[in-house]
Amino acid sequence: MTSISQALPAGSLTMTRGMVALFAFCCGAIVANIYYAQPIIELIAPDLGLSSSLASLIVSLTQIGYALGLFFLVPLGDLLENRRLMIITTLVAIASLLGAAFTQQPNAFLLVSLLIGFSSVSVQILIPLAAHLAPEESRGRVVGGIMGGLLLGILLARPVSSLVADHFGWRAMFIAAAALMAAISLVLLLTIPKRQPNHSATYGQLLRSLATLLRQQPVLRQRAFYQGCMFAAFSLFWTAAPLELARNHGLSQSEIALFALVGAIGAIAAPISGRLADAGHTRIASLLAMLFAVLSFLPAFVHPAYSVIGLAVTGVVLDFCVQMNMVLGQRAVYTLDAHSRSRLNALYMTSIFIGGAFGSSIASAVYEHGGWLWIVIVGSAFPLLALARFLCAPTEARRTSA
């Protein structure tokens, strides 16, 4: 397949701090769509007639939809004009969010949950665009700054959703999200620069090239596996934590919101990890991120009187480690082939959200059968698997990913 060059020349638009902040805000606002339901499934499921064991399907189907969007839509960023593609996907997100707000049928809600995830992938078109615009020496800082906004959106979505649902009902959250997406569509139209790839490939060739890229890039395969495991632990924890806090600690939705807000502290990992990657410290930072992700579940064994504090510590440390490893991996993947960044990003992020969907899909069942102890065991196993794979990787491949 003929390589795809960029019609927008590098350096034609400088990624200033203001532009980085704008990209970060848009990414955070859009990606939040796939997390609003996570802390309020205990409210949504009985209202729609879903059983407790099926409640986590709401979260996992949204993440599966996001993974499908990453695989089938994001590669179009190497084929079609980027801004138009992002606006179209946000319009679909508006319709999906409104569908979630007004549907009364459980099957229909699960379907629109899938569509919400599918239509929220424009963030993964924005990030490669920013990487293209940024000079090599500051690419890690730029990507880290934007990922900080994206990850802050993930973390703030949970407390915002809990607060809105507690005071106005869970349907109000989806109506508010649709209104925010309408505003984001306008922001994208007025401020994001156009980028028209100079392509000579068909969509089918583009999709077939994904298998070629995956086969040819061992760093991509390794970083995708590491982060897929990390994100499985992340999704497992944040899907099960609201259940544990509500059932065994008597917290209200507003109190669960405050708990989730504490977890947002971990968003500081993104800009830190971007700078570490620019400085050449990817390998040691990755090692520490995976190791501390394994250890992050240990505070669950503190005295019962301090168990909520222990859960909060787990949330902060796990968030920090997952976000650090994500940015480190993204920085490594973006250096592989400048002409294929959208497709490389699609493969990387698809693997991550497959892991996340798996973690959230088993969360309810694991918790119902074994309580929080089983969550700790399974949650620790995921990053431990990533760490073992990292330590067993060939030295040359590890050096390349650094």
Residue 289 lies in a domain: yes
pLDDT for position 11: 42
Averaged pLDDT, 255-269: 77
Residue 286 lies in a domain: yes
Position 82, amino acid: N
Answer for the pair 347, 77: CB distance below 8 angstroms, yes or no: no
Per residue in 93-108, pLDDT tens? 999 999 999 999 999 9
Q: How far apart are CA 316 and CA 265, in angstroms?
A: 6
Per residue in 274-321, pLDDT tens? 677 667 778 899 999 999 999 999 887 776 767 888 999 999 899 889
Answer for the pair 265, 323: CB distance below 8 angstroms, yes or no: no
Residue 363 lies in a domain: yes
Residue 301 lies in a domain: yes
Domain assignment of residue 158, given as a range:
10-401
- Say which CATH number the domain at 319 has: 1.20.1250.20
- For residue 155, pLDDT beyond 50: yes
Averaged pLDDT, 373-384: 96
Percent of the chain, pLDDT > 70? 90
Per residue in 306-315, pLDDT tens? 788 899 999 9
Residue 5 lies in a domain: no
- Mean pLDDT is highest, among 20-24, 50-54, 110-114, for 110-114
User: Considering its fold, how many domains does the chain have in total?
Assistant: 1
pLDDT for position 1: 37
Query: In sequence order, what DSSP letters do the residues of 230-278 get, joined into one string?
Result: HHHHHHHHHHHHHHHHHHHS---HHHHHHHHHHHGGGGGHHHHHHHHHH
Tokens standing for 387? 């760490």
Q: How far apart are CA 256 and CA 258, in angstroms?
A: 5
Looking at 120-124, 142-146, 229-233, 350-354, which range is the least confident one?
Answer: 142-146
Q: How far apart are CA 294 and CA 66, in angstroms?
A: 26
Residue 121 lies in a domain: yes
pLDDT for position 199: 64
Residue 123 lies in a domain: yes
Averaged pLDDT, 378-382: 96
- For residue 64, pLDDT beyond 60: yes
pLDDT for position 263: 72
Residue 390 lies in a domain: yes
- For residue 12, pLDDT beyond 60: no
